[in-house]
Structure 1
Amino acid sequence: MKVAIIVSMLVVAACAQDKYKSDLEGDFDVTELLNNERLLLSYTRCLIDKGPCTPEVKAVKDKLPEALATKCAKCTDKQKELGKKLAVELKRTHPAVWAQLVAKYDPQGQHQAAFQEFLTKQ
């Protein structure tokens, strides 16, 4: 019985560690970012290697290729929610910036179908 409890605790701990840690998701206001053109463009310049990065955005940038490749398998529900809202609004309001992000992170288009499914999934 003790072994089963210990194994269960280890599995729970391992699963918890498999999620991305993010300082951006705490009290991050995605609406505020989307309404702040200067900040939004600063973040996206970081993501496409055309500007400096804050530590928080650099952390996102470092995980982005893996997140795309694994269909966000290590993302928390909150990270998925934020990512979806940001992607939808960025595509709608800044299509040129969106195109630059796609060119950087998915130049062959291999993640497009999975990403579109992610965006439309409830």
Structure 2
Amino acid sequence: MKVIILTLCFAAAVLAQEKYDSVDDDFDISEVLDNERLLNSYAKCLLNKGPCTPEVKKVKDKLPEALATRCAKCTDKQKQIGKKLAQEVKSKRPDLWKELIAHYDPEGKYQESFQDYLKP
């Protein structure tokens, strides 16, 4: 019985580690979307055209894996933030959207899964 309990505890710990750190889940995406200067600064970081803040660098470092795994390690809040950001940039800044797609998915291999993700 002790072995089963220990195994379940270990499995729970491993599953908990499978998610990205939720420390930044309280991030206010509206602040970025409503501030052209801030959005441009973040975009430059993501596109390797400018410096990165520590927060945006964390996102930048995890973005390729998140795209490849359909955000499997993202928390629900991170998925919500990412979806809102992508929808807003795609509709209001199509030029920036195209640059980000060209940078992070030049072969178009994530387009189908990403379109599914963006559906309302």
Question: Are the counterparts in 1 of residues 64 and 104 from structure 2 also a CA contact under 8 Å?
Answer: yes
Question: Are the counterparts in 2 of residues 34 and 86 from structure 1 also a CA contact under 8 Å?
Answer: yes
Match of 1:120 in 2: 119
Cα displacement (A) at 1:94: 0.7
- Aligned ranges for residues 68-107 of structure 1 at < 5 Å? 68-107=67-106
Cα displacement (A) at 1:31: 1.2
What's the Cα RMSD here? 1.1
- What CA distance in whole angstroms lies between the structure 2 residues aligned with 1:22 and 1:61? 16
- Aligned ranges for residues 1-122 of structure 1 at < 5 Å? 1-25=1-25, 27-120=26-119
Query: Residue type matched to 2:100 in 1?
Result: L
Question: Are the counterparts in 2 of residues 22 and 59 from structure 1 also a CA contact under 8 Å?
Answer: no
Q: Deviations over 1:24-59 (max 9, x none)?
A: 32x211111110111111011100000100111111
Query: Residue type matched to 1:110 in 2?
Result: K
Question: Are the counterparts in 2 of residues 23 and 56 from structure 1 also a CA contact under 8 Å?
Answer: no
Q: Residues 102, 58 of structure 1: CA spacing in aligned structure 2 closer, same or farther, 3 A cutoff?
A: same
Q: Residues 98, 88 of structure 1: CA spacing in aligned structure 2 closer, same or farther, 3 A cutoff?
A: same
What is the TM-score normalised by the length of structure 2?
A: 0.95
Seq. identity, %: 60
Gaps of at least 5 residues in structure 1 are none
What is the TM-score normalised by the length of structure 1?
A: 0.94
Count of matched residue pairs: 120
SS in 2 for 1:24: helix
Question: Are the counterparts in 1 of residues 71 and 79 from structure 2 also a CA contact under 8 Å?
Answer: yes
